[in-house]
Amino acid sequence: MYYLIVSIILGFFFVLFNKYIAKKINLHDVPDSERKIHHKKTALTGGIFFFINIIIYLIFEKYFITNNYSGLFFSSNSSDNIFILSITLLFLIGFIDDKINLDHNLRFFLLILIISLNLLLTPELNISLIKVSFFKPFDIGEYSFFWTLICFLLFINAFNFFDGLNLQTAGLILIMSIFFVHKNIYTEFFLVIMVANFFFLYLNYQSKIFLGNNGSYFIPFIFGSYFIKAYNSDIAILADEIVVLLLIPGLDLLRLFFQRILNKKNPFKPDRQHLHHYLIMHYSSLNTAITIQLLIWIPFIWSQIFEISLYVLFIQLILYFFIIFRYKN
């Protein structure tokens, strides 16, 4: 309860002083004529706000609370320390990337290094058993490390690609948090994230703040870690439940990746070929964001009520490519 009050106080403080903070540290997203769809200089401080809320919670839970009632932490102190350090490093990498635009290869190498260190030190973060609703569970054995590493890299990059339109990442953060609260997993922690996300959404809706790379690296790392930790526990979670939440950002990432390679372009170089770019040529920014959110929210609700995730995934897939082919030109 105390954490929620702190998060609310921080939220009001950030709403009042966001513009001043962005100016003081000179952290803005400046529009261009190539790919960005906003028209004025906007604060890139969303990740800073999330980081402050999350790091305060984790540090107090880890180092000042004697019993791990929240279940947030791992089997060893070294795993916990590396996890908190990794969140901080990913935030700093994103912050530096926002300031000076890091080389794509260096950034990718650092992501691999940080994720690999966590996987090597924390067994709970490795996916070894694949559990889906439409097939018997099967063990991937020695491929566990590499499969988990790929999943993390795909999720972080998909989340980063998804962060290109107001309300888009805020909606994704909200529904992922609702997933944990609905399952009664790490509830207080994700309620804190939901409170922080409410204030971010308020400013983002008014185009006063963007998440920035300072948020789009460590936030998916946190969600990915707790998806896997919960999945590996005795909690009844299936892989396809998680995929329903992440399929649309994931499809956009994979489509763009292969499309750019086929066109002999750098797969990590930004362009205006994302799903939201196609829709925004025909609809307002708000209607575009709502349409994309519905592609995630409706299948998620459907899968939780009727527990037929395979059909839900199939419908999501069809709808995604229908929109792509319908609005591409």
Measured in residues, the chain has a length of 329
pLDDT tens, position by position, 267-308: 777 778 889 989 998 999 999 999 999 999 999 999 888 877
Q: DSSP class of residue 209?
A: B
Q: Where are the domains of the chain?
A: 2-327
Q: What is the structure's pLDDT at 32?
A: 63
Q: What is the pLDDT of residue 1?
A: 67
SS3 per residue for 290-314: HHHHHHHHHHHHHHHHHCCHHHHHH
Residue 39's pLDDT is what? 59
State the pLDDT at residue 71. Answer: 78
Measured between alpha carbons, how far apart are the two ends of the chain, in Å? Answer: 50
Mean pLDDT score of the chain, rounded to an integer? Answer: 90
CA–CA distance, 100 with 44 (Å, rounded to integer): 13
Name the residue among 296, 272, 270, 153 with its Cα closest to residue 217: 153
Q: What is the pLDDT of residue 134?
A: 81
Regions of the chain short of the pLDDT cut 50 = none
